[in-house]
Structure 1
Amino acid sequence: MINISRRLPLIGAALGLAAFAFLGPAHAQEEEFVLRFNHVLGPSEPFHEGFLKWAERVEERTGGGLTIEVFHSAQLGVEEDIIEQIRQGANIGQNTDAARLGNYVPGIAVVNGPYFVETMEEAFALADSPTMIEWQQELAEQHGLKVVCFDWVQGLRHFFTNREVHTPADLEGLRIRTPPAPIWQESIRALGASPVAMNFGDVYPGLQQQAIDGAELVYPNITAGNLYEVLDYAIETGHILLVNFQVVSSEWFNGLPEDYQTALVEECRRAGQETSEIVQQAVDQAEAEVREQGMTVIEDVDLEAFRQAGQAAYEVLGLVDAKNQVQEEIGK
Structure 2
Amino acid sequence: MKNKMLKLSLLASLVTLPAAAISSEIEIKIAHGSSTQFHMHKALERFESIVEEKSNNRIDVTIFPSGQIAGDTGMVEAVLAGTVEMAVEPPSFFAKWDPAFEVAELPFIYPNKDVAFKVLNSEAGDELMHRLNDLDLVGLGWMEMGQRVLTNNGHPVTSPSDFKGIKLRTMKVPTHISAFKALGANPTPMNFGEVYAGLQMNVIDAQENPISQIYTQKFHEVQDYITLTNHVLALYLPVINKSFYDSLDESDQTLLKEAMAEAINYDFDLIETENDQYLKEIKETGVQVVELTSQQRQQFIDAVAPARDSFRRRVGADLYDLWMGKIKELSIN
User: TM-score w.r.t. structure 1 length?
Assistant: 0.84
Q: Say if 2:240 is the partner of 1:243.
A: no
**2:151 maps to 1:160:** yes
| Cα offset, 1:92, TM superposition | 2.9
**2:84 alignment counterpart:** 91
Q: Which residue of 1 aligns with 2:251?
A: 259
Q: Would the aligned equivalents of 2:175 and 2:310 in 1 still touch at CA under 8 Å? A: no
- Deviation of 1:132 after TM superposition, in Å, equals 2.3
Q: Give a deviation string over 1:55-74, Cα, whole Å, max 9, x none.
A: 11111222222222112211
In the other structure, the counterpart of 1:26 is: none
Q: Distance in 2 between matches of 1:111 and 1:118?
A: 13
Structure 2 counterpart of 1:219: 211
- Alignment partner of 2:140: what SS? strand
Distance 1:238 1:329 in 2: 20
Deviation of 1:291 (Å) = 0.5
Q: CA deviation at 1:167?
A: 1.0
What is the alpha-carbon distance in structure 1 between the residues aligned to residue 158 and residue 192 of structure 2? Answer: 25
How far apart are the structure 2 equivalents of 1:77 and 1:220? 22
Deviation at 1:263, TM superposition (A): 1.2
SS at match of 1:132: helix
Moved over 6 A (4+): none
Following TM superposition, by how much is the alpha carbon of 1:138 offset from its aligned partner in structure 2, in angstroms?
A: 2.1
Matched residue count: 301
1:82 aligns with 2:75: yes
The answer for unaligned runs of 5 or more in structure 2 is: 1-22
In 2, are the aligned partners of 1:175 and 1:194 still within 8 Å (CA)?
Answer: yes
| TM-aligned CA deviation for residue 118 of structure 1 | 4.6
Give the structure 1 partner of residue 280 of structure 2.
Answer: 288
One-letter amino acid of the structure 2 residue matched with residue 162 of structure 1: N
Counterpart in 2 of 1:133? 126
Give the counterpart of 2:191 among 172, 196, 199.
Answer: 199
Per the alignment, residue 297 of structure 2 pairs with 303
Q: Deviations over 1:175-225 (max 9, x none)?
A: 111122223322332333221111122111101221111100111222212
One-letter amino acid of the counterpart of residue 305, structure 1: Q
Whether the 8 Å CA contact 2:152–2:226 is kept in 1: the answer is yes
Are residues 1:328 and 2:325 paired? yes
> Are the counterparts in 2 of residues 99 and 184 from structure 1 also a CA contact under 8 Å?
no
CA distance in 2, matches of 1:39, 1:134: 24
CA 1:127–1:299: 2 relative to 1, 3 Å: closer
Secondary structure at the aligned position of 2:73 is classed as helix
- Are the counterparts in 2 of residues 228 and 295 from structure 1 also a CA contact under 8 Å? yes
Equivalent residues in 2 for 1:32-43, closer than 5 Å: 32-43=25-36
Q: Distance in 1 between matches of 2:225 and 2:252?
A: 46
Distance in 2, Cα, partners of 1:309 & 1:321: 24
Q: Distance between the aligned counterparts of 2:307 and 2:87, measured in 1?
A: 26
Alignment TM-score, normalising by the size of structure 2: 0.84
1:107 counterpart residue number = 100
- Which sits farther off after the overlay, 209-218 or 65-74? 65-74
Rounded Cα–Cα distance in structure 1 between residues aligned with 2:64 and 2:111:
29
Whichever residue aligns with residue 303 of structure 2, its letter is A
CA distance in 2, matches of 1:268, 1:312: 38
**Structure 1 residues 187 and 34: CA distance shift in structure 2, 3 A:** farther
